Structure 1
């Protein structure tokens, strides 16, 4: 079964309202690795609004703490890449 990679909005996984998805291909083999939801224009507007609200708090966060968050994110991405 192909895994589905959801959108995350405000820390919550969100599936598209209309149920449209696109395949994610492995560039080295051409095989389908996953699928991702396709958002409607209205869903994109809601996501942008959420990001605009979150940006003020992020900008007020100490740069050293922001760097730690980003480095942790990078660690998580690297762990996920090695698990594939």
Structure 2
């Protein structure tokens, strides 16, 4: 049987919305935390980029969001 090449023709339209919002929050620790211990940080303890206190952290949409955690400027896994 001879080889047949087929060219598939598809008519499609894509709608892509991009509206990234970057928010950074900082926490300055006041004491040491023992290794293996759990550290709970209240949302009101964070500062935003301007140095203003944050009242609550934003709710991230489950379908299109992510967060990165940095400790001493090092990205955590």
Same fold per superposition (TM over 0.5): no
Structure with greater strand percent: 1
TM tier relative to shorter chain? under 0.3
Q: Indicate the structure (1 or 2) with the bigger Cα radius of gyration.
A: 2
Structure with greater helix percent: 1
TM-score (norm 1): 0.19
TM-score (norm 2): 0.20
